[in-house]
A and B are shown apart, each in its own frame.
Chain A
């Protein structure tokens, strides 16, 4: 075990007390999100820091009773295509969603250590003109994805909201 990983493990008594299944789920989530965001499998050190940040409390706590927030997180962790839709939707409509907090946290961790920081530093290996066209295309793709995300996720958000209201009334 590397020195970095040892350090992380030794600093997380709170995390250690959680169930092994919970930790495994967090590791899986970290791997899925890293592959989605930076197309890399995270190192053991990054996974350890991801766990540590969750154990620190408050940073990425799920919003209790917010079914839509849970749904977004679950969907994003399941499949990269779903993650793409959730990403576009939360960029505009739910900036404080738990899944977005977790993504930004993972970016913060990965930009702070080697070798993952290299991904943040290097531009794509294309000429200026190709890059400009690619960025225009990426912008257009974002608009299209956002449109699709609204079609699929807005009804889900409204449904979850209505369900939550009904549940409150029946209590």
Chain B
């Protein structure tokens, strides 16, 4: 049997690996692989940590106070947990520059989805229209991934947007605020459906509502944002651990892949890699190679390989990302109520808006704010701090945010390429991105519609607090080497096999020909399994 070498341990890489390991293939996974720190006091709830830890400020704000959000930091309401800093820690070997884009990359064990919010949304027929396969083709793989990771969801009004695949678990316990929003929706359904084309329901989330395998169901400690201490909330490092139990699996961390070597027949022969901490360059040979390092890193390795092999500095067009808009709101009915942190913390509700003319389907995730840090929010309230804090305490139980996601499409003027560095022999990745024409009008319309929806649900949007996030912030990157029926350079087959190197496969978002508004992580995993099942 062939020896497979997979680059990257993110959501796509680990599910690809698990599928081929079960078939008996020998698999080597190479990865920079920053490890996740161990969970502290796993039994404690969010507030118990503040009492029981010897140094809680160090835990919540970090040893260098890196989670402290200084006044004047524009628009972000979220202090990133210091214990998740490893997810975005960059090895010095990786260098990127960007124009019109704020790129984020992960070199962590488990990749970017170690810091995801667990949203699991299958694409429907309409959203797959640019893909070389239909919903019926990918449905078994959505069901397979759901069985592997545990996905909660129900058949409600959102089923018109989210197809129902197999292996859904019962939904999680709703927090009081989400329950109230859902009740308000049921009362206002007629108006919201008919006048605003808006549908609301339970989110699909990758968190266990019942014990599964060796994993325990969610215990509602309220620590989701700070890293689930029990493994009820799915992250790819759990599947990586599952892979490690196979005797035919070798995990090689502390490896930064520079490029592939290939022969005269354009067959890859090895990867050239080095330790991110410095040290010698070495080669690892294999029969088949799988790029699963995430769209930016996979593109960089591909570009470097072409440059090393042919001397040609090419550009890969079509980079996509979801534009995200944060719309904070206050539920007036919840003013003065006590807030409870002992709940699931990420979005429990979602909304879909059918927007005929402008931009198609709009995807919204409704998070009722609970255990996020307070100080980044309070300082953004347009009042003096003392008054802002008092108002915050009174409305805290009714605070929430809708994260609005817009779709994107491949455009030639958005590309990645390599640029020579002035101060180093190594090339750096250069990313150029410009939003589509007319995006401002689409954003304006989307915000207006979401505000109307929230008003119907008994909520108000505080003036001046809506935030359009920069491109790159959603970290749903895709599209630089798209699947294509035509055998053109820098494209891939319907099964994500490179049209340039026939023993190279892509398992990540690099090959997506379009980017629907829904979070793509679930489709990345399902597509990786689809490719692994078909090609091997």
Contact = CB atoms under 8 A, between A and B. Distances in A.
Given A7-B54, A95-B71, A123-B396, A84 B336 contact: no
Contact-size category for B: 35 or more
Interface residues of A, number: 54
Which of B339, B341, B383, B384 has the most chain A CB within a 10 Å cutoff?
B384
A138 B68 contact: no
Residue from A84, A135, A145 having most chain B Cβ neighbours under 10 A: A135
A104 B70 contact: yes
A29 interface: no
A100 B373 CA distance: 17
Contacts of A91: 382-385, 388
Interface in B373-430: 373-375, 378-379, 382-394, 396-397
Contacts of A168: none
Contacts of B373: 108, 111-112
Interface in A108-128: 108-109, 111-115, 117, 119-124, 126-128
Contacts of A74: none
Interface in B70-113: 70-72, 79
A139 to B, nearest CB: 7
Contacts of A49: 57
B338 A104 contact: no
Contact of A108 (B51, B375, B388, B391): B375
Nearest to A6: B54
B71 A100 contact: yes
Contacts of B35: none
Given A114-B56, A123-B393, A108 B61 contact: yes
B47 interface: yes
Interface of B: 47, 50-51, 54-57, 59-61, 64-65, 67-72, 79, 335-339, 341, 373-375, 378-379, 382-394, 396-397
23 contacts: A7-B54, A49-B57, A53-B65, A59-B68, A59-B70, A87-B386, A92-B382, A96-B71, A104-B378, A108-B65, A108-B67, A108-B375, A112-B60, A112-B373, A113-B50, A113-B57, A117-B47, A120-B392, A122-B338, A122-B393, A124-B394, A134-B394, A135-B394
Given A126-B336, A138-B383, 4 more contacts: A37-B386, A104-B68, A104-B379, A120-B389
Interface of A: 3-4, 7-8, 36-38, 45, 49, 53, 56, 59, 84, 87-88, 90-92, 95-97, 100-101, 103-105, 107-109, 111-115, 117, 119-124, 126-128, 131-132, 134-135, 138-139, 141-142, 145-146
